[in-house]
Amino acid sequence: MTEIPAEILEAIALDANGLVCAIAQQHDTGEVLMQAWMDREAVARTLESREVWYWSRSRKKLWCKGETSGQTQALVDLRVDCDGDAVLLLVDQKGVACHTGRRSCFYRAARDGRLTEIAGVVADPKMLYGDS
Amino acid sequence: MTEIPAEILEAIALDANGLVCAIAQQHDTGEVLMQAWMDREAVARTLESREVWYWSRSRKKLWCKGETSGQTQALVDLRVDCDGDAVLLLVDQKGVACHTGRRSCFYRAARDGRLTEIAGVVADPKMLYGDS
């Protein structure tokens, strides 16, 4: 178990599953890249290593962003919201944040009653995650 | 029940509580303002009215952002992430997003093992919500 400084730990309100909502934003452009979840250990490792860790709800395990794809997130600043149930991660995203090969996961916009793709694939997912 | 266009509704993956994670971002500056939750009706009303609606988990009711405080969010763009369990709301925030009177709810940063306030109060909460 990695330690979190007490003042920071106290400010974070984990939900019934022990998780806090995490939003990753590119620190210099302001682009919102992705939303995921962190448990206490993910917060601790992120603060200590300055590389972003999340908790995967589907795989039920900690993962370091980019551990498979190489598309890492270096932490620039971690911010906590007013009621402590969300954190904003200012990061320096290497390559793409989305597993589809797009820079941001938020690449579809609701416009004129349709869902429109507003960002293209810039990295081949097969290159990021392998063929199999 | 307000209608959501089918293509948009299908893309949104509500969780076990019927909610989707919502992130509000100021459309022109890129500032992440707040994180909250929407149910299907909140998404529908937001798309229809172009004012942002949320579902309050504590009060268990729909609320239109700013209905009490006047600090409304006009919708500029609604984006859906790759797996549909988060939406990014590009908004034009009137005044302040945070109930503490700060522009953004993410006003505390984890720096050097401490939690540091990085944004001041710019609107008196008593003026926003009344004294009582």
- Contact between residue B68 and residue B100 where contact means Cβ atoms under 8 Å apart: no
pLDDT at residue B131, rounded to an integer: 62
Nearest CA in chain B to A102: B82
pLDDT tens profile A36-76: 999 999 999 999 999 999 999 999 999 999 999 999 999 99
pLDDT-derived band at A29 (thresholds 50, 70, 90) equals very high
Q: Give CA–CA dist A87/A50, Å, rounded.
A: 15
Which of A23, A52, A116 to probe by mutation at the B interface, max B CB count within 10 Å? A23
3 state SS of A98: coil
Contact A5 B110 (CB under 8 A): yes
Nearest to B15 by CA among A78, A46, A17, A1: A17
Q: What distances in angstroms separate CA A20 from CA A81, B30, B43, one per listed residue?
A: 11, 22, 22
Torsion of CA B90, B93, B98, B101, to 10 degrees: 160
CA distance A47 to chain B (A): 8
pLDDT tens profile A66-115: 999 999 999 999 999 999 999 999 999 999 999 999 999 999 999 999 99
- Contact between residue A37 and residue A52 where contact means Cβ atoms under 8 Å apart: no
DSSP structure class, residue A36: E
- Contact between residue B122 and residue B103 where contact means Cβ atoms under 8 Å apart: yes
A78 contacts in B (CB within 8 Å)? 109-110
3 state SS of B128: helix
CA distance B45 to chain A (A): 13
CA distance A119 to chain B (A): 11
- Interface contacts A/B by beta carbons within 8 Å: 113
A99 contacts in B (CB within 8 Å)? 82
- Contact between residue B76 and residue B45 where contact means Cβ atoms under 8 Å apart: no
Q: What distances in angstroms separate CA A88 from CA A85, A118, A130, one per listed residue?
A: 10, 23, 30
Instruction: Tell me which residue in A32, A34, A114 faces B32 most closely, judged by beta carbons.
Output: A32
DSSP structure class, residue A15: -
Contact B79 A106 (CB under 8 A): yes
Higher local confidence (pLDDT), B49 or B1: B49
CATH number of B6-97: 3.10.20.810
Q: Which value does ipTM take for this structure? A: 0.96
Instruction: Tell me which residue in B29, B80, B118 faces A110 most closely, judged by beta carbons.
Output: B80
Q: What is the 3-state secondary structure (H, E, C) of B6-36?
A: HHHHHHCCCCCCCEEEEEEEECCCCCEEEEE
Nearest to B89 by CA among B76, B105, B102: B76
Which of A88, A96, A118 to probe by mutation at the B interface, max B CB count within 10 Å? A88
CA distance B18 to chain A (A): 16
pLDDT tens profile A114-126: 999 999 999 999 9
Helices (H), A1-132: 6-11, 40-49, 125-129
Kindly provide the residue ranges of all beta strands, DSSP E only, lying in A27-97, ordered along the sequence: 32-38, 53-56, 61-64, 73-80, 86-93
- pTM above 0.90? yes
Domain extents in chain A? 6-97
pLDDT at residue A131, rounded to an integer: 62
Instruction: Tell me which residue in B86, B100, B109 faces A79 most closely, judged by beta carbons.
Output: B109
**Which amino acid does the sequence have at A91?**
V
Contact B25 A32 (CB under 8 A): yes
Sign of the CA dihedral running A23, A25, A31, A36: negative
